[in-house]
Structure 1
Amino acid sequence: MTAPPYQEEPWTDGHMVVCGDDGLAHRLAAELRDLYRRHVVLVVPDGRAGGAGTEPAAEGRTGAAASLREVAASAPTREALRRAGVDGAAALALLYEDDETNLRAALAARRLNPGVRLVVRMYNRKLGDHLEELLDQAALVAASAADRTALDASTTVLSDADTAAPALVATAIADTRKVVQADGLLLRAAERPAPDRGEAPDPGLCTLALLSSTAGDPAGAEGSDSSGVQGPELLPDDRSVQASRGRGTVVLEAVGRSGPGLPPRRLARRGAPLGEVFSSRLRWAVAGVVAAVLALTAAAAVLTDADPTHAAYLTLLDLFSINDPALDDSTTRQVLQLLSGLVGLALLPLLVAGGLEALGTFRASGALRRLPRGLSGHIVLLGLGRIGARVLARLREYDVPVVCVEQDPDARGIPLARDLGVPVILGDVTEDGVLDAARVHQADALLALTSSDTTNLEAVLTARALKDDLRTVLRLYDDDFATAVYRTLRSAHPDAVTRSRSVSHLAAPAFAGAMMGRQILGAIPVERKVLLFAALLVAGHPQLEGRTVAESFRPNAWRVVALDTAEPDARRPDLASTPHGGEDPQLLWDLHPGYVLRSRDRVVVAATRRGLAELLAVVPGR
């Protein structure tokens, strides 16, 4: 039966369209409706329509009720996108787990509406960068000259794995002096522990958040309803920072691009380290033989009055047993020949051992590494899928010892683990002995990141039976379920650190901000909350225009943290893009509180989700 055509409604133009086949699509649609007060059309696969959250939202700050409507379609075809009203939409999010599906839908949507803002979820970031450039060029070609100024950044490619990985890594690392990247682009924030008694907290450039507790506190108030425990506070004012006692902070400590990732360790590449090919014992044995040859050469040069070159030549001939016996020579020459022959006998097995070790090393380069003896204090990572692979890469950037457990030998993260030399155990974590093989009882933390909530929960319970005080982090699908699991595990194990994370909850704010415009630079997760960074033009924002930096600051909502000093004609449309020539954007981070923001200025603001929604609210007449 053919689906009925999409009926145009008075609010159709300028609405948002979200297409997806998992929980991220539903959460993003609810975020756009509830926080940004935008009308949303949600395209879901057949049989999944009528999910939670489809009722209209209450009247928000913008003064208009936002609606959420579902359209069922087996695939994001051209006809399905037309029924969802893409030809009149302001933005379209393609959130299918298959990169090819998102790619085909993005090309079809660009033909339907060249001016639609596209937000595409892709795991392959290299392909995503090419797709971003291709779709932007297609939009510019299709748009008229008058409309091209509005298409400065019409396509954004994001990955939920990249967005959620920093929060998962930050939770697993016990050291509170860890660095949290804002999408690895422009911003770098640092989490600092609570200062000692009598010491004033160091705000850095500015304080971004007050934490509910230090990272090592098992009773950290993530969604806790226990009395006397304060949750995290985003963008606090100076009075709140000075009055805070016993609370860690997240501060803007430095600005710059994230460094390059770890270099690949494939032995097939040039310049493989000698230590990876030959063992240390073999290298010491070869060094001893070389020293003996040099000593024999020096003795022959001194005792037989031969020049050093001739002495070295005779020594090598004797070493390889290809010289004539020294029957008619002096006794000294005969003794030196016998000693050289003995050294030559020791050289032959060394050559054989070196060949066998090199052959075994190159064979093992394609195999998974085994656990080293005496390993302890490591992190056990369960699952090497999309999320697990990203988390593994970040953990190795911090040089944290990791042991991975994966059931599928063809998982996406297996080649990465092989390249990084990370030990991997192939097996089901729910089977007896698998966690024991990963030495959970000697580990510092457990990251359960498989795609199954029950598997993650069962693994954590099994690990807790092996080690009561093990720090555990669970990836759970639903955020409400994650909160309930966290509270239950914390009550059952009060002396152990337990954290639960929903990937869709961590990723949705970044996708929602990108649908409002590519001025979203990144997101920094702070416990169960998210702090967003955006580049905004001051013009059209009465909360910023004509005010000083200090006056524009609204605690717990938004704060101006940087100013783009480039001339308007020389500005790059997207601060998140890689500049040509490698030059950094001209951003001034240490702003004077008395600087008056002008309409031509472009600023970088740190904002909560609700605060950014208020800043980006649609103003009538604009």
Structure 2
Amino acid sequence: MVTLPHQQGAESGDGGHMVVCGDDALAQRVAVELRDVYRQRVVLLVPEEAGDPGGPAVQVVTAAAPTQEALVRADAARATALALVYEDDETNLRAALAARRLSPGLRLVVRMYNRKLGQHLEELLDQAALVAVPGMDRASLDASTTVLSDADTAAPALVATAVADTNKVVQADGLLLRAAERPAPGRGEVPDGGLCTLALLSSTAADPAGAEGSDGSGAQGPQLLPDDRTVREGAGRGTVVLEAVRHEGPALAPRRLARRGVPLRDLVSSQLRWALAGILVAVLALTAATTWLTDAAPVSAAYLTLLDLFSINEPALEEPTARQVLQLLSGLAGLALLPLLVAGVLEALGTFRTSGALRRPPRGLSDHIVLLGLGKVGARVLTRLRELDIPVVCVEQDADARGIALARDLGVPVVLGDVTEDGVLKSAKAHRAEALLALTSSDTTNLEATLAARTLGNDLRVVLRLDDDDFATAVYRTLRSAHPTAVTRSRSVAHLAAPAFASAMMGRQVLGAIFVERRILLFAVVPVAGHPHFEGLTVAEAFRPGVWRVIALDTARPDSRSLDLAHDQHEQEPSLLWDLHPGHLLDAEDRVVVATTRQGLADLLTPAARSDSPAAP
């Protein structure tokens, strides 16, 4: 065990620290996120072979498995929160049960890919905490359990990178929000404020080399949460605005039949439809002729015509010549109808039979996204892309991959083949695509696919998954030098998922964080009741420039609100109102989403913030 000098308190039992347990890069990334973004003291429980993230405020404890003895060594009983981020679901499950027995009031964040099992585990552990902590109801239970998947939490950032070329995203109420940088408006131009203005960039924010952020050496640094007057006075400086991630592209295919990917118009061919329409016209004409020539009522004439059509009527031997001719014509129409009916049934059966097979990319498809890899990460990304109504073509080598069945159910075209082979990317229409997402589990395969895609189109936006950070940095710099006009982004799943796990450890009220150059903005959910900074004030009066700003209002009834706006909104109707009027009055039953600094969040969430002291101007 390595103990840093300023970490003596954790071992002496004063608590207040956070424990992260894991066996891969995600654990170290979560520890770094807690240390750098939220300024927390962290105890990192890792196997002996794992590396040390180093840096201040991180204490490393080695253990082969997260047993109860190992959790005691990490002082988990007196910790504020515990994250279990092992790759194996069963390991996390066993450790979560042991941790809940060790400390019923401990806030747990558990990594689990199996959604159904994770939901049951969350309900079980929350119920155990409610029983162990008397007088605590579910709405006010802070020592709760949050089950997350690294694939689920990384998917929004990957989608945002492919669609909007950014990974500065926050997920709230099922909506994907991004912090978009806007250049300084020209003379006479009206700046685009998005949902709200989050920051004014420093004068050194633009980086000709393409690096993100600023070195902060300018005369004017970034200003977080400026008021309207500061924005107007900051002419010539770029801004960071909050906006929803949307896709403006071609419409998706029409509604599918029985969720099998078969459009209704594809059940029978157009030639067969025209032939059946011709038979119908002939039947109507014969019915009209029978009515006119035999003085029969229209209903009786239609009945006689159908009997003759299906050859089940008596021969008209004693009838007038006109009736006999009409019967012969109806019989000829019936002879033509029989093979058409048989052909229609066979075509419909064949269409339903082939609908279970994978679709091929349409011939004229363009402006779509090519998704390489349908593993656990690729399947989650595919779901998010389809939620945004973005056309997708998938490429997968393994016909039994996790996402193959999902792609079949969604009607997404799939190309089966090795992406490194010639012709596979062309089959996916990559040369006419808008972006390429290389998300296979192999770094070399993703890199090879990226290089192959660059030969098809230099303007293609490419996002590749690289789990090795050093390798990702080298690849990014090399590709940027070789293709300076092309957009290439390398992302690590652990790097993208770590902020969600860290924010969950801070509590369900924290939605996420984004970097503005070298400063940090946090997004949190705050109940208005008891807050002198919010209760009884308008949205404009509750705004404290440079500290916090109300950006959304939860319109759901208090008894039906979700505890976790960041992760539990896939099956619920959105309830957040983002376009707030400055004069809207906040009352005690409201719940708001605020953008705030680290110090502002500490002021809002501490009990002292709910004192009877007057609200700050």
TM beyond 0.5: yes
Would you say 1:284 and 2:274 are equivalent positions? yes
Task: Decide which of 34, 37, 57 is 2:36's aligned counterpart.
Answer: 34
The equivalent residue for 2:3 is: none
Deviation readout 1:255-283 (Å, 9 max, x if unpaired): xxxxxx999957378x9863353344433
Taking a change above 3 Å as real, the CA distance of residues 587 and 333 of structure 1, as seen in their structure-2 partners, is: closer
Deviations 1:505-524 (A, max 9, x none): 22222211211211123567
Question: Who is 1:533 aligned against?
Answer: 523
CA distance in 1, matches of 2:221, 2:377: 27
Q: Which amino acid aligns with 1:561?
A: I
2:62 is aligned to: 71
Please name the residue that 2:54 is paired with. Answer: 54
Deviation track 1:119-157 (CA, whole Å, cap 9, x = no partner) reads 122334444333323211110101234899973451122
Distance 1:426 1:241, change over 3 A: farther
Corresponding letter in the other structure for 2:37: L
Corresponding position of 1:498: 488
Aligned to 1:250: 241
Equivalent of residue 74 in structure 2, options 68, 84, 92: 84
Single out whichever of 545-554 and 440-449 deviates more from structure 2: 545-554
Does 2:372 align with 1:370?
Answer: no
C-alpha contact 2:108 2:505 (8 A) present in aligned 1: yes
3-state secondary structure, aligned to 2:465: strand
SS in 2 for 1:374: coil
Amino acid at match of 1:351: L
Note if contact 1:99-1:122 (Cα within 8 Å) is conserved in structure 2: yes
Q: Per-residue displacement from partner, 1:440-484 (whole Å, max 9, x unpaired)?
A: 112221111122222211111111012222111122224554344
**Over the residues paired in the alignment, what is the CA RMSD in angstroms?**
4.8
Asked if 1 retains the 8 angstrom alpha-carbon contact of 2:259 and 2:410, the reply is no
- The residue matched to 1:322 in structure 2 has which SS? coil
Q: Distance in 1 between matches of 2:170 and 2:290?
A: 64
Equivalent residue for 1:63?
none
Contact 2:168 2:515 in 1 (8 A): no
Partner AA of 1:329 in structure 2? E
Cα gap change, 1:582/1:451 in structure 2, threshold over 3 Å: closer, same or farther? closer
Q: 1:350 to 1:54 in 2, by over 3 A?
A: same
Residue pair 1:471, 1:496 contacting (<8 A) in 2 also:
yes
Matched residue SS, 1:151: coil
Please say if residues 174 and 574 of structure 2, whose CA atoms lie closer than 8 Å, have aligned partners that are also in contact: no
Report matched runs for 1:228-377 at 5 Å: 235=225, 238=228, 241-242=231-232, 243=234, 249-251=240-242, 267=258, 274-377=264-367
Q: For the structure 1 residues 237 and 268, does the alpha-carbon distance in structure 2 shift closer, same or farther, using more than 3 Å as the test?
A: closer
TM norm structure 1: 0.79
Q: For residues 221 and 400 of structure 2, what CA distance do their matches in structure 1 show?
A: 41
1:44 counterpart (43, 46, 63) = 46
Secondary structure of the equivalent of 1:409?
coil
CA shift in 2, pair 1:572/1:303, >3 Å: closer
Aligned to 2:414: 424
Q: Which amino acid aligns with 1:29?
A: A
CA displacement, residues 163-220 of structure 1 (integer Å, 9 cap, x when unaligned): 32222222222699x99772444785686976675222242552135799xxxx9986
Going from structure 1 to structure 2, the CA distance change for 1:410 and 1:239 (only over 3 Å counts) comes to farther
| CA positional deviation for 1:316 | 1.5
1:412 aligns with 2:402: yes
Determine the structure 2 residue equivalent to 1:61: none
Question: SS of the residue aligned with 2:401?
Answer: coil
Residue 93 of structure 1, CA deviation: 0.7
Contact 1:535 1:602 in 2 (8 A): yes
Paired amino acid for 1:54 = G
Query: Who is 2:4 aligned against?
Result: none
Give the C-alpha shift of residue 100 in structure 1. 3.5
- Residues in 1 aligned to 2:288 and 2:35: alpha-carbon distance in whole angstroms: 86
Aligned twin of 2:17: 15
Distance 1:251 1:392, change over 3 A: same
- Distance in 1, Cα, partners of 2:391 & 2:590: 46
> For 1:142-181, what aligned pairs fall within 5 Å after superposition?
142-145=132-135, 151-152=141-142, 154-173=144-163
CA distance in 1, matches of 2:14, 2:62: 14
In 2, Cα distance between equivalents of 1:395 and 1:562: 25
CA spacing shift, 1:575–1:443, aligned 2, 3 Å: closer
Describe the shift of the 1:566–1:321 C-alpha distance in structure 2 as closer, same or farther (beyond 3 A): closer
Q: Structure 2 CA distance, aligned partners of 1:153 and 1:244?
A: 46
CA deviation digits over 1:550-583, x for unaligned, max 9?
Answer: 786454x64343567999x97968363879x989
Q: What whole-Å deviation, never above 9, does each CA across 1:319-359 have from its counterpart, x for those lacking one?
A: 22333443443332232223222222221222222222222
* Rounded Cα–Cα distance in structure 1 between residues aligned with 2:366 and 2:122: 44
Whole-Å Cα distance in 2 between the matches of residues 287 and 18 of structure 1? 69
Indicate how the Cα distance of structure 1 residues 245 and 426 shifts in structure 2: closer, same or farther if over 3 A, else same: farther
Q: Cα 1:462–1:455, aligned 2, differ >3 Å: closer, same or farther?
A: same
- Letter of the 2:371 counterpart: L
Counterpart amino acid of 1:291? V
Matched, 1:604 2:593: yes
- 1:396 equivalent in structure 2: 386
- 1:20: how far off? 1.9
Letter in 2 for 1:605: V
Q: Aligned partners of 2:221, 2:473: CA distance in 1, in Å?
A: 14
- Residue in 2 aligned with 1:485? 475
Q: CA-to-partner distance for each residue in 1:34-77, whole Å, 9 max, x for gaps?
A: 333333222224532xx14134x1xxxxxxxx23213222x333
Q: Residue 207 of structure 1 is aligned with which of 197, 208, 228?
A: 197
SS of aligned partner of 1:173: helix
Q: Which amino acid aligns with 2:449?
A: A
Matched-pair contact (CA < 8 Å) for 1:265–1:419: no
1:258 equivalent in structure 2: none
1:120 counterpart SS class: strand
- Aligned residue pairs, count: 586
Q: 1:24 to 1:333 in 2, by over 3 A?
A: same
Secondary structure at the aligned position of 1:54 is classed as coil
Counterpart residue type for residue 69 of structure 1: V
> Offset of 1:291 from its aligned partner?
2.4
Distance change (3 Å), C-alpha of 1:595 and 1:107:
same
Q: Gaps (5+ residues) in structure 2?
A: 1-8, 246-251, 612-617
Distance 2:319 2:528 in 1: 97
Q: Distance in 1 between matches of 2:236 and 2:599?
A: 27
Is residue 552–residue 576 contact of structure 2 (8 Å, CA) maintained in 1? no
| The one of 414, 434, 444 aligned to 1:444 | 434
Q: Is the 8 A contact 1:208 1:250 kept in 2?
A: yes
Q: Which amino acid letter does the alignment assign opposite residue 13 of structure 1? A: G
Q: Secondary structure at the match of 2:11?
A: coil
Matched-pair contact (CA < 8 Å) for 1:17–1:93: yes
Q: Distance in 1 between matches of 2:520 and 2:410?
A: 30
Contact 1:563 1:604 in 2 (8 A): yes
Q: Distance in 2 between matches of 1:231 and 1:494?
A: 28
| Alpha-carbon offset, residue 603 of structure 1 | 4.8
TM-aligned CA deviation for residue 375 of structure 1: 1.9
